[in-house]
Structures are given as C-alpha cells and as structure tokens.
Chains A and B, each alone.
Chain A
Amino acid sequence: MDTVSQILDAIFNIATMSTTGAIIRIALLVFGGIAFFFIKNWINKKLAEAAHKKTEEGRNKDQAGVEPENRDLDDAAKKAEDDIEKAIKEREGKKE
C-alpha cells in the first residue's frame, strides 16, 4: 500500500511542481480521463451491439422453433393417448 501511495504521490503531488508542470499534468489527467471515458464507452457500445445482435438472432431462432416443436410434441401426446386407449379397449375386450 505504501508503494502505491508513493507512486501516486510522485505523479500527482502538484504542490511540489512548477505552475506549468502542474497545468500540464492536470490537463493530461483531464484529457486522459476523457479519452479513457470515450474508449471505455466505445468498447462497451461495440460489446452491446454484438450482444444485442446475438439476442435478436436467438429470439428469431427460438420463435421460429415454437410451431415445429409444438407439432412434434402434440403428435407424440396424441400417439401416446391413442396407444393407451387401445390398451384399455384390449383389456376391456379380454374381460368381456
């Protein structure tokens, strides 16, 4: 922690600097901060665009899959019920 403090003091201790040095450093700090802010936002924007594209692709794919999946499941359910109704009829036939 001490080492970090020393480094930060060396960079930012404006009190020990000349006026020009202080102005330059403050200007660098402000412009550096603004540049960092814009770069960070740009990266975030690109990441958000990529994520949104994937979200939209996923939504479209999943929405397109609803109807076929429903049809398959519906067919399976009807077939299973038919098989059971046949089994019930068979058993009732045997009983008679």
Chain B
Amino acid sequence: MINYFYFLFLFLLTACGTPPIHTDPSEPTIDANYLSAEFTACGQVFNGIGICEIEKGKDLSSLNIKVQGYFDGAITMAASCAVDRRLPSKVRYQKSARYTVPLSGDATDTCIFTVLVSPEYPDEKNQPVEISSLKGHLYIKVVERGWKTFNKHLKIKEGTNASETIAIKADGREAEVQLKDASCGVDYKATHQIVNGKFSIRVKDFMRVVPLKTCPVSGVFFIDGRPTRMTIFIDGYSRTFITLAIPTVSVSGNNLTIVAENSVAAVGVGSSMVVSNTEKFTIDPTKSYLIRALTVRGRNIVGVFSKGRVTWIQ
C-alpha cells in the first residue's frame, strides 16, 4: 500500500498552480444578444438593459451612470447624446471598480448609451479559458415637463412564443394604444379595456416574432384623449441561451456566503470580487450591498442585498 504514495506524489506534482477559472458551456452572452453588463443610473441598478428619463435641458450628468468592472479590464462606450462632449470611447479600470461615466451637457434628444465591459481575470493568460465581454444598453429618454410616461425594459427569448405581458396601471374606461419600432417591425394600434385600474398588452400582440436584437419600441396610449408616452425596450436573445441560476446566499453574523452554480467563475460583494463559484465575504449586515455572480461567457446575475434580503436582477 505504501507505494500508492508515489501516485500521490505524482498527483501533487501535477496539481500545483493557481486555482482554475471555471469554464461555462454556454454560448457567449454577446453572441446570444443577452445583455448583461451591470450599471447603475438614475438611482436604479440595471443588468444589461435599462431606461432612464431626463427632463429636456437638464444636465446629463444628473443621470449618474456608473458601470461595474470585474477584476481589471476595459470599458468601451458610445452615446450619440455625448457627441462633442468628450465621452472617452474606451477606458481602463482596475480592481473591480465602478466607473463613473463622464456624460454631461444639456439633454436635448433621446439617445442610447451603449457599454461593453471586457474583464481580464487574474492569471487568465495561463489558463485555457476563453473570456467574453458583457454588453449593456441604457435608453436615455428625454421628456418635456408635464408629460405622463410609462417605461418598461424586458429580456425576451427570440421567436414566436413570447408569453410576456405588460401590465399598465390606468384610470378610465379604455386605452387607445399605439406602438412603433420600424427596426423590429412593430406597428401596433389597438384599444384595450381598463379593468380594475389596469390594462395589459401582450408582447406577442405587437411583436409577432421577437427578433435576435434589441428593440427600442416607442408608443403612446390615450385615455380620454390624454396621451401617456411609452417606451418598451426589449432585448431579444437567443432561444438556446440559458440564464444563470440564482445563487444561494446565506448570512450569518458579519459573514455573507454566496454559493453559485459550478459554471460561475467569479462571485462578488460590493467592490470585492473573487475567482470562485463560492465564497464567504465579510459585511456589515445593516448596510446595502450589490451581490454578483459572473461566468467567463458573460452570464451575470446581480442582487441587491438590503435588510437581510436579496432582490435579484436577471
């Protein structure tokens, strides 16, 4: 039996080195058009897709857009509302920092802010793992003072089976709805009955086929002749794409433990990020934290930890 120690010796000899970055069998989110870059803006946390409103003439810096970096890496940005306003097209970040986007100037027209986060994992050059970037879009809707608005962002699987329904609170008898987006073939006009203070629009009614692309659907509904402007920002992603499972989070005293599925390469709390699918972090349980799990293919889930509870944003 003593000779089996030789095998142990061989095993130890080959097992040395840094802990491996977990691979993810999924297709890259960027190929699947599954938007997953984490950012905060207008006081909200978004995972890949979001909408912010800003009153015409106000400074765009009031949106306070911050993009989450993972480990070290690069952030690539574009926004037509920032032309000639010195928004850098690419910046580098370090140590999982949140980068404050220097978007400024008067808000004049609606525009889209696009961001691409390209993380560089520790020791990735020495590991046989392909790392993908994460993309996100923020719809910056410029509104006039006094406008009534309704905004909704959704991630929907491409194809004809969209089961999502958008419920809208409204007072009145009926709502005349119009939706348009030539880029995704949306041209919808219908009257909806308002029942129990709300009416619903099924996605498949105005988008028979959800395309593999991002659709900025604009709309309006009239109730008693008064318009409410709508924006429905849809991320149509690959039908074969599987979203990341919600990790298990447990809190004991000042410790918060995240246990994510095996394909998760990194988990983090706040600005702390580690290469592992499970980790214990020290927190102040009375404070709020952003929790995240990330795969090398860009699949990402963000949670807001507050008062002992986690609200997940897929």
User: Which residues of A are interface residues toward B (Cβ below 8 A)?
Assistant: 8-9, 11-14, 29, 33-34, 36-37, 40, 44-45, 47-48, 50-52, 54-55, 58-59, 62-63, 66-67, 69-81, 83-84, 87-88, 91, 95
Report the minimum CB–CB distance from B143 to chain A (whole Å): 10
Give the complex CA separation of A40 and B219 in angstroms. Answer: 59
B133 beta carbon closer than 8 Å to chain A: yes
Cβ-defined contact, B118 with A63, below 8 A: yes
Asked whether A52 and B135 contact (CB < 8 A) given A36-B10, A78-B110, A83-B180, the answer is no
Report the minimum CB–CB distance from A10 to chain B (whole Å): 10
| Residue among A34, A54, A63, A77 making CB contact with B130, cutoff 8 Å | A54
Cβ-defined contact, A40 with B128, below 8 A: no
Contact with A along B125-161 (1 / 0, CB 8 A): 1111111110101010000000000000000000000
Give the complex CA separation of A14 and B110 in angstroms. Answer: 80
Give the complex CA separation of A70 and B137 in angstroms. Answer: 8
Q: How many interface residues does chain B have, given as a range?
A: 35 or more
Give the complex CA separation of A83 and B230 in angstroms. Answer: 12
Contact residues in A for B220 (Cβ distance below 8 Å): 84, 87-88
Give the complex CA separation of A81 and B108 in angstroms. Answer: 14
Report the minimum CB–CB distance from B4 to chain A (whole Å): 7
Contact residues in A for B112 (Cβ distance below 8 Å): 70, 73-74, 77
Report the minimum CB–CB distance from B137 to chain A (whole Å): 6
* Between-chain CB contacts (< 8 Å), 23 pairs: A9-B3, A12-B4, A37-B14, A40-B14, A51-B128, A55-B124, A58-B133, A62-B76, A62-B118, A62-B133, A62-B135, A63-B76, A63-B118, A66-B77, A69-B78, A76-B215, A77-B111, A80-B186, A84-B178, A84-B218, A84-B219, A87-B178, A87-B220
| Residue among B28, B74, B114, B116 making CB contact with A73, cutoff 8 Å | B114
Contact with A along B61-102 (1 / 0, CB 8 A): 000000000000010111110000000011000000000000
Report the minimum CB–CB distance from A64 to chain B (whole Å): 9
Q: Which of B128, B219, B225 gathers most chain A CB within 10 Å?
A: B128
Give the complex CA separation of A76 and B135 in angstroms. Answer: 18
Other A-B pairs beyond A36-B10, A45-B126, A67-B89, 7, CB < 8 Å: A14-B3, A29-B10, A44-B126, A47-B128, A66-B116, A66-B135, A87-B180
Cβ-defined contact, A66 with B114, below 8 A: yes
Cβ-defined contact, B3 with A63, below 8 A: no
| Residue among B74, B139, B219 making CB contact with A63, cutoff 8 Å | B74
Contact residues in B for A36 (Cβ distance below 8 Å): 10, 13-14
Give the complex CA separation of A91 and B4 in angstroms. Answer: 85
Contact residues in A for B128 (Cβ distance below 8 Å): 44, 47-48, 50-51
Return the 3 tightest CB-CB contacts between A and B, nearest first. Answer: A12-B3, A47-B128, A76-B183
B227 beta carbon closer than 8 Å to chain A: yes
B181 beta carbon closer than 8 Å to chain A: yes
Contact residues in A for B181 (Cβ distance below 8 Å): 76, 80
Contact residues in A for B114 (Cβ distance below 8 Å): 66, 69-70, 73
